[in-house]
Amino acid sequence: MFGGASFFALTDALGKWLTASLPVIQLGWLRCITGVLLIGLFMLVTGNLHTLKTTRPGWHLFRAVIGTLTVILNIYCLGQIPLAEFTAIIFSQPFFIAILSAIILKERISKQSWAAIIIGFIGILFVARPSPDHFHIAHVVALFTSLLFAIMSVTARYLSNSESVFALNFYVYPLNIILSFYWATSSWVAPSLNEWYLIVAMGIAATVAFGCVMQAMRYARAAVVAPVDYTRLIWVGVLGYYFWYELPDLYTCIGVLFILGSGMFILKQIRHSH
């Protein structure tokens, strides 16, 4: 999971770098093409193509639509707000997962967890700070993106009894590629050779990150290893400062502490409930 956190941070940093010169929709489209090629090649080499068999095509279609929005909005936010702020807001996923689990999976939320959810959202207000000199619409979009990530996670749990991990992830990409084709190609900006290297590196980093997380889930339950993902904040802090001289201010640091503390409490509650 530590490896996954590191490579996800690298993926986000590369995405932020590339948005300075390439359209968001085009970048998301290329990332999906790279991802589907790498995952498809991995399944072919390891002889796991049979795991793509599915009995839930409707659910895969739904998850593909959500996944398409997630990739595009994720890259948009990276180009608009500091890397650390984006990552901090994305870490609100445990709050949404807890709420969605109660709705979709009929799991009970304790009063303590509700209190942690409220504290976590107060932390998000510290990070986003709805004031004219700091707030950007990308802060709201990042929160919505976190909700979309949570939907992907909860639906994956819901489908895990009948669908393989490979199927749950692979089928997100093809529809994304098809839906984004027109907008990605109609405003095409030819990447330079160095940008092509970075695009491929971003796809590899995202695929390796997914592989690390998948392997972590094989060794332990999600609620046990998920807190390790918070180390991503260390990486994005280092990368944000090194490349863009972004230093989180006091309010952002306070917000991050609120989000991490409440998120880890919720994950602990989930772990104990299972």
Spell out the SS3 assignment of 116-141.
HHHHHHHHHHHHHCCCCCCCCHHHHH
The answer to whether 200 touches 62, Cβ cutoff 8 Å, is no
The helix or strand, by DSSP H or E, that contains position 95, with its residue range, turns out to be: helix 93-104
- Token pair, residue 258, equals 């609120």
pLDDT score of 67: 87
pLDDT score of 19: 94
118 CB contacts (<8 Å, ≥6 apart)? Answer: none
pLDDT score of 114: 86
In the 8-state DSSP scheme, what is residue 230?
Answer: G
- CA 222 – CA 230 distance, rounded (Å): 13
3-state SS track over 4-54: HHHHHHHHHHHHHHHCCCCCHHHHHHHHHHHHHHHHHHHHHHHCCHHHHCC
Domain that holds residue 23: 2-273
- Token pair, residue 243, equals 């490349």
As averages over each run of 10 residues, the pLDDT of the chain (274 residues) reads 91 94 92 87 85 88 90 92 92 83 77 87 89 89 93 82 81 87 92 95 87 71 71 88 88 90 80 63
Count: domains in the chain: 1
pLDDT score of 13: 94
Strand, coil or helix: 145: helix
